Every structure is written in C-alpha cells, then in structure tokens.
Amino acid sequence: MERILIRKGWKLQGPDKRELEIQEMPSQVYDILLDYELISNPNLTGINKDQWIGEKEWCYRTEFEVEDSSGEWNLRFQGLDTFVDIYLNNELAGENKSVYMPLVLEKVSGMKRKNILELRVKPPRRELEKISLLDKYKDRVPEFCKARVFRSGYHEFSGPKPDLIRMGVYGDIYLEKVGQDGIREGVMDVSLREDLEEGYVRIDFSYFHPEAEKILEYRLTDMQGRIICEGTEREHTEHLEITVPHPKLWWPRSHGEADLYHLQVIEKAGEVVLDTYEWQFGFRKLEKTGDMEFTVNGKTLRLWGANLAHADTMTGCYGRVKDKLYGLLDLAEMGHFNCLRIWGESEILDDDFYDECDRRGILLWHDFYLGFNMYSEEEEMLSMCRQEAEYLVKRLKHHPSLLLWCGGNEMYWSRDMQYEGEYCFGEKIFCEVFPEVCRKLDPERYYHITSPSGGEFSNDPAGGDTHGYTHLWFVPGRDHPVFLSENCRVSAPELKTLNRMMTPEELWPAGYQNISTKRNPLAWPETWSLHNTNDGAVKLGPVEHYYDAENAEELIYRIGMAHSEYIRKDVERFRRGRSETEAGKKRQTNGHLLWKFNNNSNIISYGVVDYFNEPMRAYYALKRAYEPFQISFSIGNHITLWAVNDTVGKKEGSVRVQLFSLTKNRVEKEVTMPFSCGPDESVLVGNLDVFGQFKKDCVLAARAVDEQGEVLAESVDYVEMERRLSFPDRGRLSCRVEAGMLVLESDTFARCVELRGGEDGLEFGWLFEDNYFDLLPGVEKKIKVYGKHEKGIVQIKPYYWVKGITVDYMKN
C-alpha cells in the first residue's frame, strides 16, 4: 500500500472565476480568502460581514502525476465540509454529504499518469433546502438538522454574528495505491485483568485483499523506547493479541503518572512492507460504580474541568489551530483540570489531540455530534449517524483518556424548553443507534444518553447530570447536584481584547451611565450587545454586588468579578458536597465541568479564556476553586470552615483563621484549628462562632499548613457584598524578580491585584501562574511567569489603589 499525500498545486476558484493559489492545505474557503486579505477576520470583532461566502459555489483544483496509473487506486478525504462533488479527470468520482466522516472512494476509475482532481463545494443552505421532510417534522427539525452539517456555523451561539458557515477542505487528502494488499482498518481494544496485574491488547484487522498471503510483525515499547515485546504473526493475521504482564498503569493527572505504550504493526509479504499501523495507548481500569460515580484503577475519581468548544469558528483545519489547542491544554493543566468535555456541537479533532490528552492525563467526556434540537429520523440520517458513531468509536476507544460516550448535547432539554411533553425527534439516534454501536464495539465504556439526563426531568440535579441554568430558572436541588456537565455565566474579556473587538465609541458610548433602572435594566451599553450572542446580558453573575462602573475598565471589572464570584462560590460548595447539617454524610457532587472553557470568536460570552487564549479573571477564580487540596468558608446562618482533599494522599496540619479589618488594616481576631482530611474527603474543620459578632468590613482569611509548616492552601472571603465595602486606595507594594518568579508583598490589604505584561503592542502572550488575587499585609506571594515573553515590563496594580508599580521582568 502506497499512500501519497496530495497537498501541492491546489487552487481555489470562486464565483468571479479568479483562481487563488492555496498556500497551505488543508484550508477552508474562509482561510484562503483571509490568507489573501480579501476579507477581514470576522472573529476579531465577532461580526461576520461576509456571509456571501456561504452562498456561493467554490472549486478546489489540483493536478498530480503518478509513474504507473495501472492497478487499484483509492482516494481518501479526511475532512470535507460539507456538500462536495469530487471529479477525477472531469468524471464524477463521488460525493460527500457528511462533515463528520472521512470519505474513501475505493477503486476509482479513470486514473492516468497526469490527473486533474476537482472538489466542487456547493452552497450548503441551498442543498439543505433541497431536502424535504415529512410533515411530522414541520417546525420541529430545523434546516441544519436535516443533514450532517457542522451545525454551530448556522447560528450565532459560538460567534461571530449572525453566523459563519464553513466550507471546503479541513482534512488531508490521500491517494492510495493498494498494490498487493494494505490494511483497510486496524481497531484496537485494551483491557486489564481484575487485579490490574496483566494487560491485554487486541487489534482486529481488515484488509483490501484478505486472501493475499501476509505476515504481521509487531513491536511494543514503553514511552522511553524500551522494548516490552516483539514478534511475528504468520497464521491468524485477521487479529493480533498481546499480553503484557505487570503493566505500568495510566492515571489521570489528578491521580498519578500517565504511563503509555507504543505499538507498531507492519504488514509484510515476504520482505516487502505492504503497510504500517501505529498506536499510542495505556492500561487503566475505569468503572462507573454509581450515579455519575467513577473509579480509576480502583481509586475514586471526581471530575473537575470544563467544556472545550472548537478552537476557532472560522476553521476546522487542525494545523491552523493546533498551537491554540495545545495552549488550552496548558491552561487546563495549570487550572487543575482532570477532564474536558468534547461538546456535541463541536468538531472532529485530529488523532494528535487525543494522543496529547493521553500524554497529559486529561480525561475526555465525549459527545457524539448532536446538539440542542430535534433531528430527522429517516433512514438516510439514521444510517449516516450509525456510520459516524462506528467510525468514531473504532478510532478512539483505545485512548486511555476517553472517559465516556454521550449521545449529544441537550437533546431532551431543548425539547422540554420548546415542546414539553411531545415526542423528541432524534430519539432513535441517541437512544437506539448510538447505544447499539457502543454495546457492539465498546461495551465496557459508559454510554450517557444525552447531556443532561438521568433524573426525574431532563435537567434534574438529583440524578444523572445537570446544566447550570440557574441564571434564568429556579432549579430545585441545585445546591448539591450529582454532576454538573455545564455551568455558566457570562463576562467580558479584558480591556486589551475588547480594544480589538470594539471601536472606542462602542466601548464606552458618549453619555453612557452604567446604572440599571426599570426602563433600562441592561448591565452594559447597547453597543456591547452587538458583540454578544445568546442573550448574554441576562446571564451575568451577581453584578449587583459590585459598584456601578464609570468607565470601560470598571465595567470589565464589575462583570468579570461577578462571574468569578459565581464560579468560586458554586464550585467550592459543589466540592464540599453537602451542607453543614449533613457533614457526616458522603459528598453528593461527583464532578463539575464549566461551560465553557474557551471563546472561539472574539465575543462577550461564557468562556473563561478569550479568543486569543488569554485567561480572564474568571479563569483564575476557577483555578483557585479547583485546587486539589482546598480550604473554603461556608457563610450562612453560621460561618464554617471546610477542607476538601481530591489528592491521593492524606492531608493533616492546622488552619489559622483571621478576621482582618479593612478600615483598621490589622488582624482583629484569630483562631487556629487542627484538621485531618483523607483522599476523596471533605471535612468540616470547625465553625467560627468563636469570633462572635463582628463588623462586616472584616475579611475572612485562612491559611492551612502541614506539620512541617509548608503552606497547603489559602482562602480569602467576605461576609458582605463588595459595593458595601470600602477598600484601601493606596499602600506600599513591593515586587522583586527571583528565579524567574515575581515575589510580591504589601503593607496594606490589596483587593484584586492585577498583573499586566508588556506595553506598546506586546500585551498579549503573557501568562501568570496567578492573577486577580487578594493580598494581605505581610504575606509573601510568589508567582511563576509563563508565556512567550522572556522579558518585559510587568504592571502590578490592586484594583482600588490609585496607582500601582511596574517591574522590569527577565526570565533567569
């Protein structure tokens, strides 16, 4: 089998018949036009002014030569979006109808020594209009749910507004000369014996010419390249079985090392190499033991992370977004995530992404590609969904990072919000087709019908998973749900990003006052709504807790801190897992996945990382809330202090709790409490009734240390909303650079210390280990500096202080 990658010589022809040489393949139509600066990037402002692109036909064209055109040839397209007719030497060779499946044209006819390959990409809305459905689907199944298109492009939800419909080539294109034989498919299954002391690998092969004589040579190595075993299979080449005694186990990053193995299999005829397959995989035993309760290798597993949206709404080409995705994985690690959800309205990801999650120990909740609407249940749709599921399961099931399969996003929930009590069209797909595929091909992995589901109603916090819609709905039982697979609020990116999004007139319109009244309840200027999707203005955090803004920076602070407060209080409560009255009981909440991790267009939205991969203040609130060992305050009728341990080791020591007066700039009261907290425990350390009655301008500050005096965790909290407090507006702040870290101290309480790197256009690309934090007098704060900058100016300013300081940073 000879595989030839077809990347060179491609041209794009549009409606004006002009041909553009494509600089990089794969590329989609928007990518190519942007490369030539014929359009502006709609994701910079979150507004698409070039919707005409999706209304036209486009043609990709290349010429290629082969030395010998005889024999059996295949054409393989790893990703086409979506309705594409393929012509080889002016003859129709095939057509593509699904964005979620590779297309393989076997035994193509008409191959010559010199060949012309054309991909005629048809306007998707026009093609959707041609698809007629039965009357029963009327007003239930929208246009973009009649076919297997990338549905996020057909509405504004992910940005830009009003939509952006991708078209063209997003995956590699191969020419395959089969020759004597080749591997059509190699599907790996990995399992462990109950005692975890023996691992098993099985690969099932199908061949283009199964009758051809062949042997299989294999070599299994660990990640250091050491050979574990090797051999040759001469008789039963339809499958290969390997036993690994005492395997190194793969653990999620919250539990240990992500040990992996590498297997290479070579198909040969005599000494002639016919084909080669390679896999990266790991041994781990992941079991569902209760309602959204999981164990990994016998250890309790709670899941903390976020929903990963597609990296960029403009392109599905992995090569164009790989660095961005790796940056998001860096932020996931820094943010103490052990899980990401691949959202059902997202896109196909490259094998490299799954390999990287394996290496980093990040688990993946994986939706099949359905989302928030009803779907046609006609046979063509059912068949396409079955093929997609089979392809995805076979391709990914060997990855140790793969946690579960899910039938799609908000299928029942969307029905309940629009047509409560009626039949949910599409149910045959996620209740019959997908689970049948999983039972057949991946029976040991949990299949979740749809997200959310599992309770008495589709979004019931008391069973299965729930989505945090508490901004608009009263949800009974939401304080301690079983599992949150989404939980959201909206905030704006930081000023440097908004400056790229908006004009100065939009950012702070003349005469605007940030006051909510019954006539104008909007918490931001009308101009901000131009850059927001999905009615985000009614999905903010508790902005009423913060002062009205007098300029754009203050409004960013107000909205961002409200988002941060919501995240911190919710996640701390979920991780405690129960109320004070149930302190002796089991933790109720088994996981929390924030909606959403990243903004894939430069819009005001739910993401805690902006379009440029810059973490927002809500990201740092989430990071602190996900600290593996955590102390937190529960403030109600009484104030209690809790310790939560999601590490694999026991934590013991003491916690010093202080009442710090903002007005007097001193500690008013102090108490020290011992604690002991085992793995997977949350412990009520004690209550603070010992402080008695105290003024609300006092800050609660706690610091936990082990028996050697090493700091394990810290927490700062308030008993009053911020707009009723007065913070110091000046003080003495010092910072020195030490071993590549910033070391800060203050003589006065500093509320929300912000670090900004760079100036004069170099503000992007700085990454600080912590940011937007509170700093008490006399506490030394050490912060590592990451990102792409080796040196530069760092500005440091507490929010309420009149001025801050600047530091010349240089990485040692």
**pLDDT tens, position by position, 358-375:** 999 999 999 999 999 999
- Mean per-residue pLDDT for 293-320? 98
Let me know how long the chain is.
812
How confident is the prediction for the chain on average, in pLDDT? Answer: 97
Residue ranges of the chain that CATH labels 2.60.40.10: 183-281, 627-726, 733-810
In the chain, pLDDT over 90 holds for what percent of residues?
98
- Mean per-residue pLDDT for 204-232? 97
Helices (H), 487-551: 495-501, 504-507, 526-529
Task: Answer yes or no: is pLDDT of 654 > 80.
Answer: yes
- Mean per-residue pLDDT for 729-753? 97
**Residue found under tokens 């670090």:** 755
CB atoms within 10 A of CB 17: 7
pLDDT of residue 230: 97
Task: Answer yes or no: is pLDDT of 707 > 90.
Answer: yes
Pair type for strands 299-301 and 303-308: unpaired
Task: Answer yes or no: is pLDDT of 282 > 90.
Answer: yes
Task: Answer yes or no: is pLDDT of 383 > 80.
Answer: yes
**2-177 is classed in which CATH architecture?**
Sandwich (2.60)
Q: Which fold has domain 183-281?
A: Immunoglobulin-like (2.60.40)
pLDDT of residue 246: 98
pLDDT of residue 760: 75
Residue ranges of the chain that CATH labels 2.60.120.260: 2-177
Task: Answer yes or no: is pLDDT of 759 > 80.
Answer: no
The pLDDT tens digits for 8-22 are 999 999 999 999 999
CA angle 297, 302, 308 (to 5 degrees): 110
The Cα–Cα gap between 354 and 348 comes to: 11
The pLDDT tens digits for 510-536 are 999 999 999 999 999 999 999 999 999
Residues 6+ apart with CB under 8 A from 554: 514, 547
pLDDT of residue 471: 86
The Cα–Cα gap between 752 and 797 comes to: 8
Count Cβ atoms within 10 A of the Cβ of residue 530 and give its class: 0-12 exposed, 13-18 middle, 19 or more buried. Answer: middle
**Residue found under tokens 């797909």:** 429
* pLDDT band per the 50, 70, 90 thresholds, residue 761: confident
Give CATH superfamily name and number for 733-810.
Immunoglobulins (2.60.40.10)
DSSP letter at 32 equals H
pLDDT of residue 755: 98
The Cα–Cα gap between 320 and 216 comes to: 36
- Mean per-residue pLDDT for 619-626? 99
- Mean per-residue pLDDT for 658-683? 98
- Burial call 489-517: b when 16+ CB within 10 Å, e when fewer: bbbbbbbebbeebbeeebbbeeebebeee
* CATH number attached to the domain at 627-726: 2.60.40.10
* pLDDT band per the 50, 70, 90 thresholds, residue 472: confident
For residues 770, 775, 780, 781, the Cα torsion angle rounded to the nearest 10 degrees is 0
- Mean per-residue pLDDT for 268-279? 96
The Cα–Cα gap between 250 and 284 comes to: 5
